Chain A
């Protein structure tokens, strides 16, 4: 049977989800293998080197760089306090002395007789990494972090903004075609992850921000409106570091597009659960998609083994979604994968898949298909 590799998004009722929780630099691990974790538990911590301040002592005192070491009152490695005098000239018979005071609390790192400047470092900045989702510690990465594992339902979106967030999930629409509108949001949703159907507009998103809703999961959003939220035009799809109260996960794409039925059904099934979401998206080599992790209780884990990713790509019978105009958003089943190149309306010659949609069969470039990975 013919196969074509087409990356797809995951919509899984049961998967073993693993998360690397790493420190930016080496540090201390606070958990053991097998420990049970709640999302807010700290798993590793460290101190980042403090910020550096450079001070041109020679300029301030109006002396030559070579004379700087002679006027310093502190040496390399010494601790200094903000406002403490760190250098002083001899003056003229003890009069007219000039001095330099430390602008920070920190340590003197170096004193240069070439440039006449000194380098001072502020106190270290503590950093902690939490577990992000409920689960267990599967593995320790020595000095760097842990791998957290959870049995969970797992859904990937196509694009998101805002970083990690968590809360109780609440579906606010009756069906996947329904837009998430302002009237559906109220004070009770504060700190929750709310799910809409096809679309959320800018006004509704802003209301969610003001209500401090933790996250929104929805089918589509206008690319046009991102600028007002982010404060800049998003040029490349690398997100996750935005400082937003409400993370946004779009499951289908830009525009008003009803949420995929499998995604909507699965979210509906897990309605009311405590979930962890991450809007971080990176579309480059080493792609990262936004995600919704819904940890399962022991009793909810099905007997069948967890879903393993199928890397073979699409084949006959695969469920696919069309991801480019003119049939954008439609879902269907692959009937066949003819090997020869075919000419499209644009005259582009491509390999196609014959896809059964509703009652007809369409020829779609394979590159414009996305496999919907389900279990």
Chain B
């Protein structure tokens, strides 16, 4: 069957967003979008109400009948209805899990990776060696009330007693699910296969136990897929069944409902694989920041649960420290005044920056929230820990060990941002600056934002398993991702190395398709931007002998880069970016960098 039209919704905790994708002249394009408040809580307590409202908005905009009464018409009939309907959900707090493993940095971390990859929020990682006493663990499990628990530990055929001990702790805690009192808590066991019987004996009657393949069958290998699939199945079977209206919603959709971050992650994974690129994606929200990455073909996701721009804004301040926030604020402000302003944003989270000063402060905090989240991500996205490496004499001077971060900024091809502060910044230049200042890309990196956060819907579209639809659905997801979802900001070109102030770090020559040329000599600590459209542009980049632009110190590169709505940005600042500490110097540097990319309006002209 050829897919002609697709309706997709994302039921978020506050808003339900619907998009309509249509095949027009042989191309899949986003045609309309609508949104409405999510209706999971009282007085409606039925998620489908919000879905119908959002779809009705699409109907009105598209002048196309999609609903028949309170149902979605599938498949498309003439110009009415749609071929398929799909949805993601993070309403009601998303999927909240607790994971357990024997060794925190080994099976514990693998379990965490599986749960995060499936799109859940990991509330706690319990491990035999996490330093907590059994009664402390029991109290913690009781207090948390997760939606689901993933228990792992031990390699296949290894010691049984440690993982059974964890099961005994779970049994003593007698955990209750967060939603609904009338079902047993789902627990997935993905540990030592030799312990399955004992786990069944210990937990079988108390919880809804599901046994799957070991997450770490041998020390050297992770096997996350079976656990991730199991989490998705149980999410549908148990957790979603408890949320108001989801039974009905599930009966409408043509593919299983996915947790929102799970869908985003799988889309990013697919794009990285299909285009053979490395990708970092970020979604910065009011309470949490999600980061996804694919390096060396390995996908990782982290959720920084308390780094966000409204509910958790004070936590960003607490974790980064006031000085780190202040260094990005381009005007003098009293420290108490600044903390009070940030505190007031926390207690009134829905307010927006009316004055330029407020915008400066908000974007300064965003830089720190992103920087800290990415730091956490780099620490988590590592090669497997505890693996013995065979070393030869040639490795004797190599300092590498197991557990090194997979994130290598020099290898990064594409950095995608989404979430209010990035997607809705008044100027795209501001989004580009926030991404560069916090992620500090090295070498040549394309920058983009997801303008309306369409990645969840495209992610579930890319995951349709029905054979007759799968190929078309994947093609549609990719096509819409490139043509409508991403706003290409441009490319950041940043040579890396240590040189003195005012040194020429890079000479760059760009040739546009119409033959126009741009030549620039980039100095240390300089930021330079010029307008360039999203098209292939030939570049010849010659770094200083101590600088590296991707091929090694002093090695020139001839390549093709793409511009975008912001253009091409040459970044001569060091990594990490050093900001002068003396107030006047700092303000001058911030002003220079801002003006280089036309980041903010001139306040005096604007008044």
A contact set with B: CB distance below 8 Å: 7, 51-54, 65, 109-110, 112, 114-117, 119, 121, 158-159, 222-224, 233-237, 253-255, 281, 283-286, 323-326, 328, 344-350, 364-365, 367-368, 370
Within the complex, the shortest CB–CB distance from A62 to chain B, in Å, comes to 15
27 contacts between A and B (CB under 8 A): A53-B134, A112-B164, A114-B160, A114-B164, A114-B198, A115-B161, A115-B165, A115-B168, A116-B161, A119-B172, A222-B339, A223-B314, A223-B340, A234-B314, A235-B314, A236-B287, A237-B311, A253-B340, A285-B14, A286-B41, A324-B344, A324-B353, A325-B341, A345-B354, A348-B424, A348-B426, A368-B354
CB of B399 within 8 Å of the partner chain:
no
Give per-residue flags for B480-500: 1 if the beta carbon is below 8 A from chain A beta carbons, else 0. Answer: 000000000000000000000
Given A324-B354, A368-B354, does the pair A65, B161 have CB atoms closer than 8 Å? yes
Closest to B43 in A: A311
10 more A-B residue pairs beyond the given contacts A53-B135, A224-B339, with a C-beta to C-beta distance below 8 A: A109-B172, A112-B164, A115-B164, A117-B168, A224-B340, A235-B312, A326-B357, A346-B426, A348-B353, A367-B351
Contact A365 B352 (CB under 8 A): yes
Interface residues of B in 131-149 (CB under 8 A from A): 134-135, 138-139
Compute how far the CA of A247 lies from the CA of B595 in the bound complex, rounded to whole angstroms: 48
Binds A, one of B69-77, B117-125, B315-323, B435-443: B315-323
List B residues 298-329 near A (Cβ within 8 Å).
Answer: 306, 311-312, 314-315, 317-319
Whether A368 lies near B351 (C-beta < 8 A) is: yes
Contact with A along B340-364 (1 / 0, CB 8 A): 1111111111111111111100000
A117 to chain B: which residues have CB within 8 Å? 165, 168
Beta-carbon contact of B353 and A346 below 8 Å: yes
Give chain A nearest CB distance to B382 CB in angstroms.
26
Complex Cα–Cα for A109 and B202 (A): 13
Question: Does B65 interact with chain A (Cβ within 8 Å)?
Answer: no
Given A224-B336, A224-B340, A284-B311, A237:B347 Cβ within 8 A: yes
Contact of A326 among B317, B352, B354 (CB under 8 A): B354
Nearest A residue to B92 by beta-carbon distance? A285
Contacts of B319 in A (CB 8 A): 235
The answer to the question of B606 belonging to the interface, with a C-beta cut-off of 8 Å to chain A, is yes
Complex contacts, A286 vs chain B, CB 8 Å: 41
Chain A nearest CB, measured from B498 CB (Å): 35
Give Cα A345–Cα B353 distance, bound, in whole angstroms. Answer: 9
Binary CB contact string for chain B from 564 to 607 against chain A (1 if under 8 A, 0 otherwise): 00000000000000000000000000000000000001010011
**In the assembled complex, which residues on chain A have CB atoms less than 8 Å from the CB atom of B318?**
233-235
Is the CB–CB distance between B357 and A325 below 8 Å? yes
B355 touches A326 (CB 8 A): yes
Q: Are A346 and B340 in contact (CB under 8 A)?
A: no
Bound-state Cα–Cα, A97 to B133, Å? 28
Q: Given the complex, which residues of B lie within 8 Å of A345, measured CB to CB? A: 354-356, 603, 606-607
CB of B426 within 8 A of CB of A347, answer yes
Residues of A within 8 A of B349 (CB): 283
Q: How far is the CB of B176 from chain A (nearest CB, A)?
A: 9
Cα(A292)–Cα(B22), bound, Å: 55
Q: Is the CB of A370 within 8 A of B311?
A: no
Q: Closest approach, in angstroms, between the C-beta of B306 and any C-beta of chain A?
A: 6
Minimal Cβ-Cβ distance residue in B for A49: B174
Q: Is B105 an interface residue (CB 8 A)?
A: no
Residue in A closest to B195 when the chains form the complex, CB atoms: A114
Q: Give the A-B contact count at a CB cut-off of 8 A.
A: 168
Judge if B250 is at the interface, Cβ distance under 8 Å.
no
Evaluate whether A255 and B354 lie within 8 angstroms (CB atoms) in the complex, with A112-B164, A115-B168, A117-B165 already known. no
Residues of A within 8 A of B312 (CB): 235-236
What is the predominant secondary structure among interface residues of chain A facing chain B? Answer: loop
A114-B160, A114-B164, A346-B358 given as contacts; is B351 within 8 A of A324 (CB)? Answer: yes
Q: Which residue of B lies closest to A7 (CB)?
A: B350
Residues in B neighbouring A115, C-beta threshold 8 A: 161, 164-165, 168
CA distance A347 to B354 in the complex (A): 8
Q: How far is the CB of B433 from chain A (nearest CB, A)?
A: 15
Complex interface: chain B residues within 8 A of A325 (CB)? 341, 354-355, 357-358
Q: Does B169 contact A (CB under 8 A)?
A: yes
A166 to B441, CA, bound (A): 56
Distance of B341 from chain A, by nearest CB (Å): 6
The answer to whether A324 and B168 touch across the interface, beta carbons within 8 angstroms, is: no
Closest B residue by C-beta to A255: B340
B354 contacts A223, CB within 8 Å?
no
How far, in whole Å, are A346 and B352 apart by their CA atoms in the complex?
A: 10
Does B13 make an interface contact (CB < 8 A)?
Answer: yes
Is B356 touching A346 in the complex (CB atoms < 8 A)?
Answer: yes
Q: How far is the CA of A349 from the CA of B172 in the complex (A)?
A: 55
A222 in contact with B169 (CB, 8 Å): no
Does B93 interact with chain A (Cβ within 8 Å)? Answer: yes
Which residues of chain B are near A65, meaning CB under 8 Å? 161
**Closest CB-CB distance, A222 to chain B, in whole Å?**
6
B426 pairs with A233, CB closer than 8 A: no
Kindly list chain A residues whose C-beta atoms are within 8 Å of the C-beta of B139.
Answer: 51
Q: Which residues of the partner chain B approach A119 to less than 8 Å between Cβ atoms?
A: 168, 171-172
Q: How far is the CA of A236 from the CA of B287 in the complex (A)?
A: 9
Is A52 within 8 A of B311, CB to CB? no
Asked if A284 meets B354 with Cβ closer than 8 Å, knowing A114-B160, A115-B168, the reply is no
A318 to chain B, nearest CB (A): 17
**A115-B161, A235-B306 given; A54·B134 CB < 8 A:** yes
Q: Is the Cβ of B346 less than 8 Å from the Cβ of A283?
A: yes
A5–chain B nearest beta-carbon distance, Å: 9
Least distance between B303 CB and chain A CB atoms (Å): 15
* B276 on interface, CB distance cutoff 8 Å: no
B607: chain A residues within 8 A (beta carbon)? 345
Given known A51-B139, A235-B319, contact A110–B168 (CB-CB < 8 A): yes
Chain A residue numbers with a CB within 8 Å of B347 are 158-159, 237, 253-254, 281, 283
Q: Quick one: which of B134, B171, B319, B603 has the most chain A CB within 10 A?
A: B134
Q: Are B172 and A233 in contact (CB under 8 A)?
A: no
Which of B314, B357, B601 has the largest count of A CB atoms less than 10 A from its CB?
Answer: B314
Q: How far is the CA of A115 from the CA of B352 in the complex (A)?
A: 56
Chain B residues with CB under 8 Å of A367's CB are: 350-352
- Given that A53-B134, A54-B134 are contacting pairs, would A368 and B352 also be in contact in the complex, using a CB cutoff of 8 Å? yes
Contact indicator B314/A324 (Cβ below 8 Å) = no
> For the complex, what is the distance from the CA of A116 to the CA of B13, rounded to whole Å?
45
